[in-house]
Amino acid sequence: MLRYIVLVFSFIFANECIVCHRDKESKCKNNIHYTLQNEISLTLKAWGVKDYNKSLQTLPKISNHPIKEPKDLAIDFLRRKCLRCHLTSKEVNPTNNLCLACHNSHLNKEDSYRAKATSKHCLKCHNANFIGTDYFGLFPKDFDKSYKAPITKEGFYPKKEYRNSYHHLIEDVHFQKGMSCIDCHKMNKKASCTSCHTNLSQKNHPSYHKNISCIACHSAWQVNSYRSVILRSDIPNYKDFKRLISSEDRYLEEFLKKALKKPSTKPVMPDFIENRLYKGVWYLGYYFRRWERFFLINYRGKIELARPLLDFELTYIDEQNRTIIDAKRFGGFVVAKPHTIIKEAKSCEMCHLNPLNLNDKTTIRFNTLKGELVEGEELTPAQIRKLNSYKYKLERAKELF
């Protein structure tokens, strides 16, 4: 009887899972999906905030003080543009139950198999510009409707899934073999290639490649969205942004559809943590998106891939139509772990003759956008010499022929 009463109250307060799984509650609250600490801290660091080590639970509230510097906008940007996806977000979890954001509900042990998280649960958040949909071979299209072609035979644009429509590229080999996300990403266990791939051939994995990550060689492609052009506008200049109606932001899509019909609509956007409206609307676009280029950096002793995820160009227009911040450039590259693994490694030339790796003393400053590094370090001169040395290429050639 007591258990029944507890169960009823648990349903009322939308956390029925902890009745049986009390041991999982503390683990969940220390999990990166609950704290979002990695995403928040990296973003704040890119915006130049000195005290950047924050989580969803310690992130300051939106300030009403006058905004003068990019760092003053950082919290606002996170709470009203970035953090649409979290475990209690109405967008991904209308039940308000932390557990049911990732798991199906069940009421008894016989139905426990139904509680297993599926890839569809993961893709509610891991989509579009972030790691997740790439595992299934999906590359997000640019925002403008001209990129949404080809239209269907009925004359409509392709149906949006996971916030966008996608180009279909090669899928990850693990997906082709029937594996789901949680086959590798288990609770509190870091995914590692060598956990399964223990018998690596020395012929194909020579010692001079020991400091190169598996993904750097075995990823087929990655999502690179070059230069995030972001604007907070406190004025109703909606016509300027009608091409951003389809921009992986469900709130903005619905808001612009309404505001373009009724220009007197006040420019407001919610704090997605508090679900409270504040003045101003955040717009975000990219210079362009590509999958074929890649960049190498030195991260914790390994040569890894990088991507310009946090390469920002910021503008802020206040409610008096004054440009407070005008195209301020900051942020840059972070480590990339694309889930587009193929059995065959990249060709030698893709690294050793990569034009993005041959200039100056770094692999990533000599690209067209000259991004800085937010995470990781430049390759050392010794590493650059090794990558491009004649002897190294000869040794590599011996393994191939």
Q: What is the pLDDT of residues 107-125, one digit of tens each?
A: 555 555 567 888 988 999 9
Specify the DSSP class assigned to residue 324. Answer: E
Which of 161, 219, 180 has the alpha carbon at shortest distance from 341?
Answer: 219
Q: What is the pLDDT of residue 364?
A: 44
Cis peptide before 355 (omega within 30 of 0): no
Express each pLDDT in 128-149 by its tens digit: 899 999 999 999 999 887 887 7
Give the distance between the most distant pair of CA atoms in the chain: 77
Q: What is the C-alpha separation between 302 and 383, in angstroms, rounded?
A: 11
Q: How many CA atoms lie within 13 A of 340 on its CB side?
A: 24
Name the strand (E) or helix (H) holding 122: helix 119-123
Q: What is the C-alpha separation between 175 and 128, in angstroms, rounded?
A: 18
Which of 14, 35, 38 has the alpha carbon at shortest distance from 26?
Answer: 35
Report how far apart the first and last C-alpha atoms of the chain are (Å, whole number): 74
Q: What is the mean pLDDT of residues 346-365?
A: 61
Whether 340 contacts 220, CB under 8 Å: yes
- Report strand pairing: 372-373 vs 323-336: parallel
CB atoms within 10 A of CB 212: 18
The encoded tokens of residue 262 equal 């009724």
**Close Cβ partners of 147 (under 8 Å, ≥ 6 residues apart):** 141
Coil, helix or strand for 328? strand
pLDDT tier at 8, thresholds 50, 70, 90:
very low
CB atoms within 10 A of CB 109: 8
Kindly write down the DSSP assignment for every residue of 34-49, as one continuous string. Answer: HH-HHHHHHHHHHTT-
Whether 16 contacts 3, CB under 8 Å: no
Which of 153, 133, 175 has the alpha carbon at shortest distance from 341?
Answer: 175
Q: What is the C-alpha separation between 115 and 100, in angstroms, rounded?
A: 9
**Close Cβ partners of 64 (under 8 Å, ≥ 6 residues apart):** none
Whether 111 contacts 303, CB under 8 Å: no
Which of 162, 168, 39, 179 has the alpha carbon at shortest distance from 118?
Answer: 179
Express each pLDDT in 317-335 by its tens digit: 999 999 999 999 998 889 9
Q: In residues, how long is the chain?
A: 401
**Close Cβ partners of 292 (under 8 Å, ≥ 6 residues apart):** 221
Phi/psi at 389 (5° precision): -75, 150
Express each pLDDT in 380-389 by its tens digit: 888 878 877 8
Express each pLDDT in 27-41 by its tens digit: 888 888 899 999 999
